[in-house]
Structure formats: structure tokens, C-alpha cells
Amino acid sequence: MWRAGGAAVLVAAALLSACATPPPGGKQIVSDARALLDAAAPCCASLAQAARKPLPLTRTELSIDTTAPVFQFSSGKAFFHLYELPAWRGPYAIEVVTRARGAGNDIALFIPRLGLYDADFKPTRAFDEKTLRNRGSNDLERTVFMNPGNAAERYLAIHGSELSASIERPYSTVTYTPIVAGPVVFNMVGGSDGKLVLHSSPVGSLSLEVLGYEPAASAAR
């Protein structure tokens, strides 16, 4: 006879099985997102035709994922976000931090490129992966400074980098094994070297923060 207790056991087993499923590794994350990117049609022939939103002036967490629009940049096809810069009121900075995803030594990392454009969408400045800095563990950071010479810039595009490359970082692990020799206990120190692989991903999670900008209300005080 089927009993409720049997059903509860099966449900518990199913939940344990689901919890035991490991998260996708970086290589799988990149493969899945790249397939969708390859199949996606560009949103428009020119960035001037793309949807844009105001640059947030408070710290914002954002995702560039497979629901984002696609554009054929000079560096390749990519998911992207396009922002309209605030009215010029004086020097400020835009900080972008991208966060790694994946498990173990197999990590996916959205490596952002930033492009700035004038009111006619003519390129003014571009920042690629060569100017990124480490921001703890595997996160990367870039700060773009908006100085008086950049006052005519009106738009910022954030999109991914070349996908064929990966970043390899060596690491070392130190282990301590307790050894008991009669009344004496001591640790035997060992270790191993490994290699962490970060795959360039077309999607990822970022934080965006504007530093030093004075809105109109503040500037009027």
C-alpha cells in the first residue's frame, strides 16, 4: 500500500539530488551564452538607433545577459548596455566592477569594454581589457575619468571583449597535516600548485558607480 511517508521520502530524495547538482562551470556558462549570442540578430545598424537609458547616479548592480540587445561592434558581436551621460557639471568618474562566476578552478568572467561617443555617436574614447585592474580575487575593475576635455561626450556603451581568449592564473595551496609522535604533536606542511582558468564570457554581473558627480540640486546649494 502506498503511504504518505513513502511520498515524503521520494520528495526528500529529489530535493537532495537537486541540491547535489553542481553549478555550471565557467566553460559551460560561456558555451551556452555564446550559442545564444551567435544566433541573435543585431538590434540595429547604428548605435544611434539603439535603446538607451540614463546613466544611474547611485551605485547600481546590473547584468549583461542574453536578454540584452546585441550589436556588431568593431571588436565583434556582443550583448551590451547603452547609457546617456548626465549633463556636464564638472569632473567625475565612472567605476565598473565585473564579478567572476563559476565553480572551483573553472571560472567565467565578463571582461568589459567601454566605448564613449559624442552627441552624433562618433567614437571619442575606447577602453579594452588591457586597462583593467584586479579588484580582489578574480574581480576586475575599470575607472573612466570624465574631465573637462571630455565634456562633449554623451553616451557610454558597455559590452564584452573577445571570447576566444581565456586567462590563466597560477595559485598555490598550503596544507597542514597533524603528526603525532608519542607525546609530541606537530604539523607537517605540504602544498600543491594549480592553475585557475578564467574564460571570457559574453554575459556577466557588474556594479556601476558614478563618483564625484554633483547633481543640479546639490550644485545650487
At 109 the pLDDT is 86
Q: Cell 596544507 maps to which residue?
A: 175
CA 22 to chain centre: 21
At 185 the pLDDT is 74
At 17 the pLDDT is 47
Give the three cell numbers for residue 74: 568593431
CA-CA distance, 189 to 183, in Å (whole number)?
A: 19
Alpha-carbon torsion (7, 13, 16, 17), positive or negative: negative
Helix, strand or coil, per DSSP, at residue 81: strand
Structural domain of 121: 23-42+52-165+198-213
Residue 2 lies in a domain: no
157 contacts 80 by C-beta, under 8 angstroms: yes
Record the pTM: 0.74
| Number of domains present in the structure of the chain | 1
CATH number of the domain at 158, please: 2.60.120
CA proximity to 120, closest of 170, 48, 55: 48
Residue 94 lies in a domain: yes
At 167 the pLDDT is 61
Query: Mean pLDDT by 10-residue block, N- to C-terminus, for the chain (221 residues)?
Result: 48 49 76 91 95 95 93 92 96 93 79 94 92 76 95 96 64 63 70 67 93 73 47
At 183 the pLDDT is 77
Residue 47 lies in a domain: no
